[in-house]
Amino acid sequence: FTTDFPLARPDPALTALALVMMRRLEEFTRARVANAADLLRQLVTVPGIRTVAPRIDAIPVYLRLPILLDPPLDRDAAIASCMAVGIGASGSYPACLADVPDLRQFATDGSERFDGGRLVARSIMTLPTQPLMTANDKVSILRTIQGAASRRAA
């Protein structure tokens, strides 16, 4: 955790690209939501994988698709398997916020146990939902997650 973020003027080419892409934001969001829905329909059938339901009043845009791997599934091994085949999976949270030294003072008074937060930090992974994702990309994600779910943590 750091609050030291360097500030600099953005690259003009990247600024121009961002302006062009912003015009397609709604299209990209629809594609991300559709990609997440396709993945969710399949992932709910994988033993040991839990999906994260949005709040009933939320309208998710699915920049990433969060899933939870139940023990004894090895989240880090699943991420490594995804990365090995070019799937940009992420652990999302390296630690419970109460375990990040610079944040602990804001997250706790020291008396809480935060077992739930620690469990989520150990088990959450996020999957890509890029708008240009293909059907083959989704099949690859599903097969890789199924393979990871079929292996147990050491």
The tens digit of pLDDT for each residue in 55-72 reads 999 999 999 999 999 988
Strands 64-69 and 124-128: antiparallel
- Burial-class residue 87 by CB neighbours within 10 Å (0-12, 13-18, 19+): middle
Which residues of the chain fall below pLDDT 50? 154
Question: How far is 61 from 32, CA to CA, in rounded Å?
Answer: 7
Cα dihedral angle (7, 9, 14, 15), rounded to 10 degrees?
Answer: 110
| Residue 1, pLDDT score | 57
| Residue 152, pLDDT score | 64
- Look up the pTM and report it: 0.83
Percent of the chain having pLDDT more than 70? 94
| Residue 92, pLDDT score | 80
